[in-house]
Each structure stands twice: as structure tokens, then as C-alpha cells.
Amino acid sequence: MQQRKLGPFTVSAIGLGCMNLSHAYGVPPSAEQGGKVLRAALDAGVTLFDTAALYGFGKNEELVGPVLKPHRQDITLCSKGGMAGVTGDDGVLRRVIDGRPETVIKNCEDSLRRLQTDVIDLYYLHRWDKKVPIEESVGAMKRLVEQGKVRTIGLSEVSATTIRKAHAVHPITAVQTEYSLWTRNPEIAVLDACRELGITFVAFSPVARGYLCDAVHDVTSFDAKDIRKAMPRFEPANYAHNLALLPAYRELAGEAGCTPAQLALAWLLHKGENIIPIPGTTSVEHLKEDLAADAVRLTPALLQRVEALINEKTVAGNRYTEQANREVDTEVF
């Protein structure tokens, strides 16, 4: 597999987003199946693994840690804090964004324990807590680096302005934001800021939560716990419009000699050497399909046609609900 730079690390050009193994898309697979996917990724040459305290409220880190532990020196392990599960006075576990320095430090220490490691290679602030100056949250992350608990730090779903403020406190190694053909927000300013500051851009949801795999056809059948049920783009009327774009997209994938999912990933790899997609999957078969995108070559003409077909103007619906949009700091069209 191709290799790319991620701060001081050299990693596989396509990483593995581990969220799907414990979180977000309905009932997660068994721990046994999750382990199979992780080991298959290792066998295929993946060296970048991405998890978070939030995923499964810690269960994802508990799954990932023991499987990756024997390979710890051969991989780059990433996790996130500042957004985690907190049990309220009513005994209910809820997602809470909390960027206070003491919370960021505690989140990291909890992650280290669950991951069964002494140090996290890349530690992200999962969301900027807008009640806390970004300089304070990043200052806490800087102390984690100084203490040897974290090697490098990153940010998730932030604007170019916030990136620059954070980078002035401590060098930012990576910015992670949703980026795919149908979510182009990073192109407004964040990609330019990353190139200017020497920051790697990590693209999550690179296959548009299954849409660009041509794998989601009936949005009414989503599991009750599937986060896509609340996303405007997957609302039935919007999704009917979006589905109408896929026949032409499938034809373009055919011209490129690849699958729809591989076309989405190859497009990202062609957008810049500092971009690393981290698709997630619960299937070893789909994992192998995703990783084969590394070998797909796209002509400039085909790239232009793909971008003209699926973009922020041709897709119906917002990527997030109004509440979720308030929780992120990314620029919008």
C-alpha cells in the first residue's frame, strides 16, 4: 500500500476508522467480528487506526486495544477526547462535549487504560467546546505531550480560524473532518489552512456513510439506533433525489475500472498528498475492497466529471441536523 506522512509518522495511505465496530449504525457486530476486521486490516498493511472515547462510550477502545496491543510498535494509534459518555444524576449515559482542561486530561487517561497502551500517537480534540477557549483545551493537550502520554495532537470538525489559534499554542499534526464527494466543506478554507501549516487532513466518512458505496437504497429500514435516521440527506424525499445521481456515478466507476466505493476513496487520494481517508466497515470483504482503492488511477478529466456530478450543489439535504451543526465549527457553504 502507498504510504503518506502524518506528522512524524509514516502510515498507510488509507487508514481504518474503527467507529463502525461499536457505534452509530445500529446494532454493532460482535467483538469476535470486530476483531476479525481489525486483524484483516493489519494483515493488509493498514498502519493507521482511529478510535475515540465516544465510540460505544468506551467500548470501541476496549475492543481495539487488546487486538492492536501485540502490534503496537508497528502502527499509529489515534483516539479522541473532549466528547464522551457521561452518566447523569438520572443514571442515563449521554454524550457530552466538554473541553475543559481537566476533562480533556481525564479523557486521555481513561483512553490509555482502555487501549492498554502507555502513549497515544495522535490525540484529537473530538469537538471544540465553544464554552472553553480553544487555547485552553489545546493547552491541556500540550501538557499531555509534555507528560509523554500523547505524541502528537489533532483537532476534529473545526474551522481554519480555530486551527490557526490552536496551532499557535502547540503544533497541530492533523485535522479530521468529514470529507467526501457529497461533503465538500473542507474545500472552503480548512484544506488551504492545513497545506499552509503543514497539517495532514484526515477524511472521515469518505464513502458518505454508505451512499457512495451504492449500498444504501432503503432509508426506511434503518435500525432505530442508526444515526443516519436523523440526518437530513437520508430523509426519504432528499434521499430519493440523491439516489438519482448514482446511476451516472456507477458508470464513472466502471470507466475507472473500480467499484463505487473505490472511486470515492481514490478521488480523495487524488485531492492531495496530505489527505488520508479513514473508511470504516464491519465486513472483511468490504475492507479489502476499500483498501484496493489505493491502486486506482483517475485521469484529470474523470476527476472533473465525478466532481461535477456529486457535490454540495447537486446533493439534497444538510449533512447534520441543526443541533449537530451547532456543535461543529466547520465553515459552511
* pLDDT tens profile 215-268: 999 999 999 989 999 999 999 999 999 999 999 999 999 999 999 999 999 999
DSSP SS3 for 155: strand
Average pLDDT over residues 163-172: 98
pTM over 0.85: yes
Written as one letter, the residue type at 110 is: D
Q: Point out the catalytic residue in the list 55, 123, 179, 320.
A: 55
Strand partners, 81: 125
Determine the Cα–Cα distance for residues 192 and 22; give it in Å rounded to an integer: 33
- Give percent above pLDDT 90 in the chain: 96
Active site residue 124: no
Mean of the per-residue pLDDT values of the chain: 97
Determine the Cα–Cα distance for residues 150 and 108; give it in Å rounded to an integer: 8
Average pLDDT over residues 193-217: 97
**Exposed/middle/buried for 233, CB within 10 Å: 0-12, 13-18, 19+?**
buried
For domain 3-209+271-296, the CATH class is alpha beta
Phi, psi dihedral angles at 53 (to 5 degrees): -60, -30
DSSP SS3 for 256: helix
**b/e map of 96-134 (b: 16 or more CB within 10 Å)?**
ebbbeeebbbbbbebbbebbebebbbbbbbbbbbeebeb
* pLDDT tens profile 115-152: 999 999 999 999 999 999 999 999 999 999 999 999 99
Domain ranges of the chain: 3-209+271-296
Average pLDDT over residues 307-318: 98
C-alpha cell at 316: 439534497
Written as one letter, the residue type at 196 is: E
